[in-house]
Structure 1
Amino acid sequence: MHEQAIAFTTPSAAPRWQRWLLFSPLARIVIFAAWFVGLMMLAQFGFHLLGWGKGTPAPQLAIAQFVARALVPLAAYLLLVKGVERRPLAELAPRRLLPQGLSGVLFGLLLFSAVVATLWLLGSYRVTGSNPDAAWVNALLVVGLGAGIGEEIIARGVIFRIVEEGLGSWWALLISALFFGAAHIANPGATLWSSAAIAIEAGLLFGMLYHVTRSLAACMGLHAAWNFAQGTVYGIPVSGSDADGWLISTRSGPDWLSGGAFGAEASVVALVLCSLCTLGLLVVARRRGSIVPPVWRR
């Protein structure tokens, strides 16, 4: 079971220097980071040639952000998988991409709707109007697909997957969740509590979802749908960013309940509901016996 879960193993015939400088978990993470930075610089140069900068119209700016957030990390990941690991891209297999992605989208919509419904029942969330002219296409490209694709490639495709190959599932889950929470610490309205909440509710949930399904598409769908539902459907700030939603809403009560300026992701309601889903996935993993031990115990 462990061999099936691990996407890459070092070739037995690889010389010692390749084992350390090319195929080791740390080396592959560094190689991905280098390609990511290089491709990002190339993309920024392309935007400069196109004259896309401050004052760029919203549609072109959304496209530029989608390229930077989603396509750059995707290209770096493909270089890693095909150029270094030299294996099939099973976690983004074309024949499973659409069904697994749509399953993740449905899960994300239902999960965040459950968060909003609970906040409404507790008297924290209230709809005050509607905005049919909300810029949903831009939000879908940037906050939905852009964040969903790019952040899942980095946090789950690179950090969780590669750390799991070396240190095992538990350390991979912890390290990727801490990274994911820390990556949101500089967002508007962020606090230590909001970053901890992101690490626990999203970092652990997405990590366990990837572990159980071995599908980046499912994680991307969940992530994109969660963000899109939060900002564009329910009009709640997404990780501190202002929302332009179809529903105009307000949240009241203490920050631990409403999430405050950061959004409902910093609410104890989201924390509890996501944690319950994480526990459910953990039960599935334990029953399957899919938890990967560290490499020195395999």
Structure 2
Amino acid sequence: MSQTIVFHTPAQARAWQRWLIYSPVARIVIFAALAFAVGFAVHGAMAALGWMSKTATPLQHAVAGLSIELVSTVVSYIVLVMVIERRRMRELSWRQVPTYGLAAFVGGFLLFSTVVGLLWVLGSYHVLGINNHVNWLPEVLIAGVGAGVGEEIITRGVLFRIVEEGMGTWWALGISAVFFGGAHIFNPAATLWSSLAIAIEAGILLAMVFHVTRTLWACIGLHAAWNITQGTIYGIPVSGGSEKGWLLSSRTGPDWLSGGAFGAEASVIALLVCTSVSVVLLMIALRRNSIVRPSWSRRVSASYAATPTA
């Protein structure tokens, strides 16, 4: 468990510091405030360059959106970890990119390809042709890199990790999954079902990936590959967004099977495939005995352990 919990409140911290700086709620609020401030500044810079105007090119729009998301989240997370928590940022070590990051990227491609393969077998997914002239770079930057890095830092690096330190793994899984699903409720074609599906299939899966590997690169690789494979390769809407991909495709059948206008993420097939992987990861965590108990439970256990026996 000591390897799972990477931050402990400094012993010399004063009472007000424990509540206003080092507590889980305080650190989450500090990150959110920093991300908003930095994002606002970057947004202003991109607007000044004209890259957010109606006359800007699709690539300029993509670079502007990517800059806002990456700079705000990465800078804020660096400040949170290195200034507030005062520790090494092991979960974003560059050494893990060729291993965990690449393996998870391949895994994400295979995972979504499995979903598409099953939809094809069931007669829901159809390939109509090939679009050799698709402008794939903007979507890769926004849906792949931007969503992969930005959303994983926020949801798994900040929310899941910090809640797990305070309330334990089970609460962290539930809270981060609900947050992740709820964050997609305002997407085009979103429904309560699509948000619930996202919460279960992606929110729980990605949280378990982080819990088992303790590296954000695994989450980033899986998330980015899932989005790129879904939209850029198979031509399926990514969370209700663009559906222009290398393959021209269509999906037929009831929405519970095809996912409807939101995309295959709202399909029962995606839900079952991802949940199966989550169950395997949960079994690994249970076998390792890495499930973190709430902080109040750990304190009680520590006090019993410290009690001298007769």
TM norm. shorter chain > 0.5: yes
After TM superposition, the structure 1 = structure 2 runs for residues 190-269 of structure 1, keeping only pairs within 5 Å, are 190-269=190-269
Residues 173-214 of structure 1 deviation map (CA, whole Å, 9 limit, x = unaligned): 000000000000000000000000000000000000000000
Runs of 4+ in 1 over 4 A off after TM superposition: none
2:115 counterpart of 1:115? yes
d(CA) in 1 for partners of 2:135, 2:81: 35
Residues 64-84 of structure 1 deviation map (CA, whole Å, 9 limit, x = unaligned): 111122232111111111110
Paired position in structure 1 for 2:29: 30
RMSD: 0.7
- After TM superposition, give the deviation of residue 3 of structure 1 in Å: 1.3
Asked if the contact 1:69–1:142 (Cα under 8 Å) also holds between the matched residues in 2, the reply is: no
d(CA) in 2 for partners of 1:189, 1:277: 27
Query: What is the one-letter code of the residue matched to 2:25?
Result: L
Paired position in structure 2 for 1:125: 125
Worse-superposed segment, 40-49 or 192-201: 40-49
- After TM superposition, give the deviation of residue 47 of structure 1 in Å: 1.1
Paired position in structure 1 for 2:304: none
Query: What is the one-letter code of the residue matched to 1:32?
Result: F
d(CA) in 2 for partners of 1:83, 1:50: 31
d(CA) in 2 for partners of 1:172, 1:97: 25
Paired position in structure 1 for 2:272: 272
Paired position in structure 2 for 1:16: 15
d(CA) in 1 for partners of 2:243, 2:135: 10
| Runs (5+) with no aligned partner, structure 2 | 299-310
After TM superposition, the structure 1 = structure 2 runs for residues 1-298 of structure 1, keeping only pairs within 5 Å, are 2-55=1-54, 56-298=56-298
Count of aligned positions = 297
d(CA) in 2 for partners of 1:132, 1:161: 42
- After TM superposition, give the deviation of residue 51 of structure 1 in Å: 1.9
Worse-superposed segment, 49-58 or 21-30: 49-58
Asked if the contact 2:237–2:262 (Cα under 8 Å) also holds between the matched residues in 1, the reply is: yes
Query: What is the one-letter code of the residue matched to 1:169?
Result: T
- Tell me the secondary structure at the aligned position of residue 2 of structure 2: helix
Asked if the contact 1:104–1:222 (Cα under 8 Å) also holds between the matched residues in 2, the reply is: yes
d(CA) in 1 for partners of 2:145, 2:92: 15
- After TM superposition, give the deviation of residue 52 of structure 1 in Å: 2.1
| Runs (5+) with no aligned partner, structure 1 | none
- Tell me the secondary structure at the aligned position of residue 127 of structure 1: strand
In percent, how many aligned pairs have the same letter?
Answer: 56
Query: What is the one-letter code of the residue matched to 1:11?
Result: P
Query: What is the one-letter code of the residue matched to 2:53?
Result: K
- Tell me the secondary structure at the aligned position of residue 230 of structure 2: helix
- After TM superposition, give the deviation of residue 49 of structure 1 in Å: 2.0
Asked if the contact 2:39–2:69 (Cα under 8 Å) also holds between the matched residues in 1, the reply is: no
d(CA) in 2 for partners of 1:127, 1:64: 33
Residues 124-152 of structure 1 deviation map (CA, whole Å, 9 limit, x = unaligned): 00000110111121111111010010000
Asked if the contact 1:260–1:266 (Cα under 8 Å) also holds between the matched residues in 2, the reply is: yes
d(CA) in 2 for partners of 1:47, 1:195: 31
Asked if the contact 2:112–2:226 (Cα under 8 Å) also holds between the matched residues in 1, the reply is: yes
d(CA) in 1 for partners of 2:272, 2:178: 18
- After TM superposition, give the deviation of residue 288 of structure 1 in Å: 0.2
d(CA) in 2 for partners of 1:49, 1:238: 29
Paired position in structure 1 for 2:303: none
d(CA) in 1 for partners of 2:72, 2:243: 25
Paired position in structure 1 for 2:301: none
Query: What is the one-letter code of the residue matched to 1:92?
Result: L
Query: What is the one-letter code of the residue matched to 1:125?
Result: Y
Query: What is the one-letter code of the residue matched to 2:176?
Result: S
Query: What is the one-letter code of the residue matched to 1:291?
Result: I
d(CA) in 2 for partners of 1:48, 1:260: 35
